[in-house]
Amino acid sequence: MPLPPLSLSLQFARFDGAAAHRTALPRHRVSRWVRHALGDDVQAAEITVRIVDAAEGQQLNRDFRGKDYATNVLTFDYSGAPVVAADLVLCAPVIEREARELAKPLTDHYAHLLVHGTLHAQGWDHETSTAEAEAMEARETAILGALGLADPYK
């Protein structure tokens, strides 16, 4: 089955060290990761991926989730299938720190979080129940495996 068309906007805020994140996120890879995370019921997707610094990440998390810290990925979903529209905001310093702590390549951690955020954009949720968290983790693992990447939960 062919992957659905994707209209992708890839944005990078200006911050110290942004060049390394640009290098880790070539447009063709970001597009591939997001498209593979789109479900069978998705006919097309319009997704903006924005890479931000800690200050912007913290402000967005505080303003929209009431949590006063920078988190790795925030998903703003506007419409679901058949046409998914969403913004994915990834906080570069948090992702870089997590990748280092997990001893995994920065690119692989970005792939995981882009898949994770794209699933959120389609209604997947890991915070409502253990069963839903396990289902979402299994879906992420399957998608990443199909992309040739390791299970992020092992």
The average pLDDT across 49-68 equals 98
What is the pTM (predicted TM-score) of this model?
Answer: 0.96
Average pLDDT over the chain reads: 96
Backbone angles phi, psi at 78, to 5 degrees: -110, -30
Is residue 26 within 8 Å of residue 109, measured between CB atoms?
Answer: no
SS3 88: strand
pLDDT at 1 over 80: no
From the DSSP assignment, how many helices (H) and strands (E) are in the chain? Answer: 6, 4
151, pLDDT greater than 80? yes
Q: State the pLDDT confidence band at 2, using cuts at 50, 70 and 90.
A: confident
* Position 94 pLDDT exceeds 70: yes
CB 63 within 8 A of CB 146: no
Which amino acid makes up residue 39? G
pLDDT per residue over 23-43, tens digit each?
A: 999 999 999 999 999 999 999
Confidence (pLDDT) at 107: 97
